Amino acid sequence: MDTENLHFFEKAPIAKAVAHFAVPMMLGTSMSVIYSILNAYFLGTLNNTAMLTALALTLPLFAIIMALGNLIGIGSGTFISRLLGEKRYSDVKHVSSFAFCSSLLLGLILMAVSLPFIDSIVQGLGATPDSFGFTREYVLIMLLGSPFVVSFFTLENIVRSEGAAITSMIGMILSVAVNIILDALVIFVFHWGVMGVATATVVSNLAASVFYACYIKYKSGFLTISLKWFKITGEILRNVFKIGVPVFIMSVFLGAMSLILNHFLVEYGDEAVAAYGISSRLLQFPEFILMGLCEGVVPLIAFTFTANRLRMKQTIRFTIQTIVGLAVVFGVAVYLVSDHLIGFFTNDPHLIEMGSYILHVTFLSLFISGITTLFTGIFQATAQGTAAFMMSVIQGITLIPVLFIANQTHGFHGVVWSLVIADAVAFLVGAGMLYALRHKLQPDLTALVQQG
């Protein structure tokens, strides 16, 4: 961490500090959504609904691989930021080396365990006879490349944790750029279809991982990936996993929720699955912008939690105000142009109508999910493991029974609206826990939330 980054942690005006940490993350996450959307667009040009269905069905698998990266990356990253606030610089090296080595190991374990059961995994994802082959191709490539994908998410988090937000953004944009270029080549030149899209995703994550590793090795002031600093202690394991495990569980729940949702949507045909796949990718853009904002300020909240509590509460208040403003802008924009957005991927009128409906409904919870993400980030940054765990499971626990009931009573419409209900419950639980922890975090933290 250089002097400039230290300045943003400790002394820069709140708005400027939040912008320094959050804007690069917002740009990086929005770019990652763009290439997710372009994956669907490139496949959509082939006019094969089964391919689009396969892409939607594999979202849970990618969520699990990402979860492994975040298990180590977010757990280590928030710990690193707190250590920097306490000026325990040598311990930062031990944690960062542990994070890098652990991410590669987890990716290798996932690959070795999963490959022998690939057909069962594809069936479990809900593949139909038409989409089975395409889904299997994607799953095979993603499993083979899982060590690189896991390390990408881990390294991005620990690079951001020392304040190198712009470097973190550059790595994410590099991944996007490589993915877009390869997508065009594998679809239009080599005609590899779904397998090509999966290959492009893996290679782009590998390229970004190499970039982050080079930054850490040659430019980082405190991070390292050297094995000589690798160390496992009770303190490292406790601090990494008390935050990392809830993050992992949350990501797995999100993947499981997507899987369960796909199984319900399959009842209404491949068009319903494809429509949800398209609309969910479009929804990811504003969601990931808000997620980038909330995740971007986590290192700042973690650092100030150990160094300056007053600065921490000011950061949270400003972030809430920004979430509200962005949610309003995105909501209005989507309601005005939703049909045109869905039409970007398909010319099927029924698919456009169905996708536009899903988009309208799910956008209702944009503000709620943004604030909920910030709640989760606060709990992670301040090492509130129990609260972080509760946030990781509440949405999934709520969604599953709501899905069953809503599907029985309101059919397709009930399935779509169940997402909004689950988001609302998670918001209420998060607000309640923040209120309960207000004295432990900051005496008037809840008042600030209300003012925001």
| Per-residue pLDDT reduced to its tens digit, 138-183 | 999 999 999 999 999 999 999 988 888 889 889 988 998 898 899 8
Please tell me the predicted confidence (pLDDT) of residue 170.
Answer: 92
Cα–chain-centroid distance for residue 446? 26
Domain ranges of the chain: 3-451
What is the residue-averaged pLDDT of the chain? 84
In this predicted structure, what is the pLDDT of residue 5?
A: 67
Within 8 A by CB and 6+ apart from 116, the residues are none
Q: Are 159 and 223 in contact (CB under 8 A)?
A: yes
Pick the closest to residue 68 from 27, 115, 35, 111 (CA basis). Answer: 111
Q: Comparing 346 with 420, which gets the higher pLDDT?
A: 420
pLDDT band at 320, cuts 50/70/90?
A: very high
Nearest to 22 by CA among 242, 225, 169: 169
Residue 443: band (very low, low, confident or very high) from pLDDT cuts 50, 70, 90 = very low
pLDDT in the model for residue 209 = 96
Looking at per-residue pLDDT, the higher value among 280 and 298 belongs to 298
- Does 319 score more than 60 pLDDT? yes
pLDDT tens for each residue of 416-428? 888 888 888 889 9
What is the pLDDT, as a whole number, of residue 255? 63
Res 147: pLDDT: 96
Provide the H-helix boundaries in 58-131.
59-85, 89-114, 118-124
Which helix (H) or strand (E) element contains residue 29? helix 14-44
Query: 295 and 104 in contact (C-beta within 8 Å)?
Result: no
Q: What is the pLDDT of residue 341?
A: 74
Selection from 85, 101, 442 nearest residue 298 by Cα: 85
Query: By the 8 A CB rule, do 122 and 135 touch?
Result: yes
Binning pLDDT at 50, 70 and 90, where does residue 236 land? very high
Secondary structure letter of residue 207 according to DSSP: H
Q: Can you tell me the distance from the alpha carbon of 40 to that of 346, in angstroms, rounded to the nearest whole number?
A: 10
pLDDT given at position 448:
43
Calpha distance 273→275 (Å, rounded): 5
174: enclosing H helix or E strand: helix 165-184
